Amino acid sequence: MTELFTNARALSEHKKSMLVKMLDSVFNNLDLTKTQRERIETAYNAVGNYLASCDHPLLKGAQIYPQGSMRLRTTNKPISQEEFDVDLILFLPKAGYAKRDEIVKVVKRHLLDNDVYKDLVEELPRGLRINYKGDYHLDITPAKAYDLEVSPGHPLWVVDKRTGFKESNPEGMALEFDKVCLMMPVISRKNAIIEAFDDKSVTELPDQSKKKPLNRIIQILKRHRDVWSQIENNPYADFKPISVIITTLACQAYVEIIKSERTYDCELDLILDVIELMPHHIKIYFDEVLIANPTMRLENYAEKWNRVEKQEGQKYRRAFYVWHQEAVDTFERLANENNRGIDNIFAALSDAFGEKPVLAAKDRFVETVKANRSNGNLGVVLGTGAITAAFAGKAQPVSRVVNDVVPVKRNQFYGD
């Protein structure tokens, strides 16, 4: 590893652990709530069952299943007025010889024929969107069977306005991602960040609460990208790296780390290593950038990076590296503020990940400190000055280094 994170790596193990807990608290506020998930799932099941029940020859045997962040469990709450983007594949097994325009026309017509969807439908370059009134929309990508090779997962021809059809295999990518998520890093203490397609017409949405370290790391990176892209006068806002590129590069970096069998004392170093290694997995062949679907090499997630017109490709490439450097700088700032107090850390977190979820995390932190103070479970670690929850005069087992803890007395504003 190079020293991209000089300040962050130099933090004490206790401060690293505290920063990870703060990040986890922030991103608990960005997960889908149970109510949101139920509403989205109800809408998703309804449109899937409706299209699967239509009697048009092209829709016979239609199957619908999730792709993207919902499938990968990396969804974040949107910023301000943006909506949750729920990506779905509509697989049409009887559409083998149908053209792109015919497929889109049939699906759109049947949605417009339905009283629920007729005023909500919008056409996209790769399918159709159903704009529900609320905080989400469904993006439906019609697809037919891929007939050139056999690949793991579910290889497809997905509709595309530019080319007619594009090779894709979102389920193959998701299954590969699931395998990687199960590869756990070697942590020297128990303090982790967090503890298939079939023949049904509608496949259930994955439970968003069942997250592994890689799921959470990608959530952190995607949220950082979203906040960064909204910085005023950001010249790269329209060229920000798409989620599947962040996901793929982080996934490959994570695999490299796991295979190295490195032992970590704290999850923060794992996050830093993933960020540092991501650019190393960008492939360039004859000046063409390739960030491929691992289960379908012809599906290049970085295809826009290779566009020549108006130097668009160069702008996409530059935007990635500018964002990546900002991610590095963010964790360096967090490390610097870590030495200046809790309020400074939360302010830096707010700048990087948005004010609303960070304020909620800060409020919860303050309430926890008050509760521990009242219960006599708050202490100061000797030699570091760090505040910690204490039990029987000793620090909780948050690291292998045991420090004596001096209990913090309860506030007695009116005397004994």
Cβ pair 166, 158 in contact under 8 A = yes
- Tens digits of per-residue pLDDT, 233-257? 999 999 999 999 999 999 999 999 9
Q: Which residues contact 147 (CB under 8 A, 6 or more apart)?
A: 96, 157
pLDDT digits (tens, 9 = 90+) for 83-109: 888 999 999 999 999 999 999 999 999
Contact predicate 89/33, CB 8 Å: no
Q: Mean pLDDT, the chain, as a whole number?
A: 86
The percent of residues above 70 in pLDDT, for the chain, comes to 84
Strands 84-91 and 121-124 turn out to be: unpaired
pTM (predicted TM-score): 0.85
Sign of CA dihedral 316, 318, 319, 325: positive
The pLDDT of residue 345: 94
Tell me which residue has tokens 């159903």. 130
- Rg for the chain, CA atoms, rounded: 24
pLDDT at res. 391: 28
Contacts of 65 (CB under 8 A, 6+ apart): 71, 88, 89, 91, 171, 197, 202, 203
Q: According to the model, what pLDDT value does residue 36 have? A: 86
Tell me: the pLDDT tens digits for 197-246? 345 566 555 555 567 999 999 999 999 999 999 999 999 999 999 999 99
pLDDT value at position 151? 86
Tokens representing residue 250 in the block: 């982080």
pLDDT at res. 204: 57
Low-confidence residues of the chain: pLDDT under 70:
1-2, 81, 189-210, 376-416
The pLDDT score that the predictor gives to residue 81 is: 66
pLDDT of residue 386: 46
What's residue 200's pLDDT?
56
Cβ contacts of 107 within 8 Å, gap of 6 or more: 51, 59, 90, 127, 128, 140, 142
Cα dihedral 108/110/115/119 (nearest 10):
10
Angle (deg, nearest 10), helices 213-229 and 243-260: 140
Alpha helices in 339-385 (DSSP H): 342-353, 355-374
pLDDT of residue 335: 95
**Other residues' Cβ atoms within 10 Å of the Cβ of residue 170:** 29
pLDDT value at position 188? 79
Whole-number pLDDT of residue 275: 98
User: Which pLDDT score, from 0 to 100, does residue 236 have?
Assistant: 97
pLDDT score at 400 = 32
